Amino acid sequence: MNFEFSDDVTAMRQEVRRFLADRLPPGTVRQQMEQGPVIDRPLWSEMAAMGWLGLTIPEQHGGSGLGHEALCMLAEEMGAFLPPVPFASTLYLVAEAVLAFGSPAQQAEWLPKLADGSVAGTFALAEGAGEPAAGTIRARVAAGRLSGMKVPVHDAAAAGLLLVAARDVEGEVGLFLVAGDAPGIRRTPLRTLDIARDAARLDFQDVPAEPLPGAAGWPAIARLLDRAAVPLAFEQVGGARAALEMAVAYAMDRFAFGRPIASLQAIKHKLADIYVAVELARSNAYFGAWALDRDAPELPRAAAAARLAAIDAYQLAARENIQTHGGMGFTWEADCHLHYRRAALLSGIIGGARHWRDRLFDQLALQH
């Protein structure tokens, strides 16, 4: 099997990379962080105009229909440049859920708005600490009204469409759509380690909620998490790649004892270890992209493996990038902390390493 991206997607990558490098030169994200979590709305509109927000959305609903392969490529570049936009929540989770589980009427209503950027989305799953599981869901929907609490919810401030995991009157877990401006929603901002990306606690009190008809039961939510895990792994690979490139550039420029520190054994072996981890994660992510694009039976196993390898690679690269920079790497003016913060955040979104390790073991057990 050939897991490489197509020539068209590879060519598109170069354009995406050039655009993001021009739009987000070094220091830009840090300057925006100084203002607190801020959505770059002009950049979001530009992404919509270029068709990036509708990559997986069919043309009949205003998207480009290029598929998940293009989405995974774009996710990697987003991870490298860290643009302050709700890309992951909107595309990996909300658009994916409406596509996979929504009724024709729901798709016709929401997919064009997601594709043109007029609506951003967020996924409200967690209700406090712990890994994703059916038993953790306590929010309830009765007579079309949602009540309960979700925390943390990332990208909540800009979300015009909320995808909420809740129980119906019979106690079955499912996914529900909630308009972001519906009455009865209270948003309480949270401060997290990654201050470039907003988070909030959402409290719902008798809020109108519409079920996604194809998403009844925890297996549907598990399937959504599997599908989101693949582009998220690519985003982590992109971040790990950027952190490695940052470390290599500094090690080549920084001289000690008359030579670049990159020539020192302790440094070059460290960088080699990061490179191996990134390439291993990339290999797993490509397998996941292949399975996702074809909705292959191997997807749950491939998604879990991709997620685990990506968590390890990004955390290693972000941590060792700081160490390579020495004392300077701990300062606010150095951009090393951007990837350290994002690596920590992404390691827990849609489940941490323990959740995905259990998921992988379960899938491997089914083969025997």
Specify the CATH number for the domain of residue 174: 2.40.110.10
Strand partners, 150: 202
On whether both 264 and 294 belong to a single domain, the answer is: yes
Q: Does residue 323 sit within a domain?
A: yes
Q: What is the predicted pLDDT for the residue at 34? A: 78
On whether both 330 and 354 belong to a single domain, the answer is: yes
Q: What is the predicted pLDDT for the residue at 26? A: 82
Angle at which helices 353-366 and 218-253 pack, to 10 degrees?
120
Q: Which of 162, 187, 215 is the last residue of a domain?
A: 215
pLDDT, mean over the chain: 94
Is the pLDDT score of 3 beyond 80? no
Mean pLDDT over 256-281 rounds to: 93
On whether both 273 and 320 belong to a single domain, the answer is: yes
On whether both 192 and 302 belong to a single domain, the answer is: no
CA–CA dist 22, 328 (Å, integer): 26
Specify the CATH number for the domain of residue 264: 1.20.140.10
On whether both 190 and 314 belong to a single domain, the answer is: no
Q: Does residue 28 sit within a domain?
A: no
On whether both 225 and 310 belong to a single domain, the answer is: yes
How big is the CA angle at 254 (ends 277 and 318), to the nearest 5 degrees? 30
Residue-range definition of the domain harbouring residue 144:
121-215
Strand partners, 164: 124, 176
**pLDDT band, very low/low/confident/very high, at 366 (cuts 50, 70, 90):** confident
In tens, the pLDDT along 61-80 reads: 999 999 999 999 999 999 99
Q: What is the predicted pLDDT for the residue at 111? A: 98
Q: Does residue 54 sit within a domain?
A: no
Is the pLDDT score of 154 beyond 80? yes
Q: How many structural domains compose the chain? A: 2
Strand partners, 159: 120
The backbone torsions φ and ψ at residue 168, rounded to the nearest 5 degrees and listed phi first, read -90, -175
In tens, the pLDDT along 192-213 reads: 889 888 999 999 999 999 999 9
Q: What is the predicted pLDDT for the residue at 305? A: 98
On whether both 183 and 313 belong to a single domain, the answer is: no
Q: What is the predicted pLDDT for the residue at 37? A: 65
On whether both 177 and 134 belong to a single domain, the answer is: yes
Q: Which of 215, 237, 272 is the last residue of a domain?
A: 215
Contact assessment for residue 273 and residue 208, using Cβ atoms and an 8 Å cutoff? no
On whether both 203 and 326 belong to a single domain, the answer is: no
On whether both 206 and 247 belong to a single domain, the answer is: no
Q: Which of 215, 243, 278 is the last residue of a domain?
A: 215
**pLDDT band, very low/low/confident/very high, at 333 (cuts 50, 70, 90):** confident
Q: Does residue 354 sit within a domain?
A: yes
Mean pLDDT is highest, among 140-149, 190-199, 260-269, for 140-149
On whether both 288 and 355 belong to a single domain, the answer is: yes
Is the pLDDT score of 1 beyond 70? no
On whether both 228 and 327 belong to a single domain, the answer is: yes
Q: What is the predicted pLDDT for the residue at 221? A: 97
Q: What is the predicted pLDDT for the residue at 2? A: 60
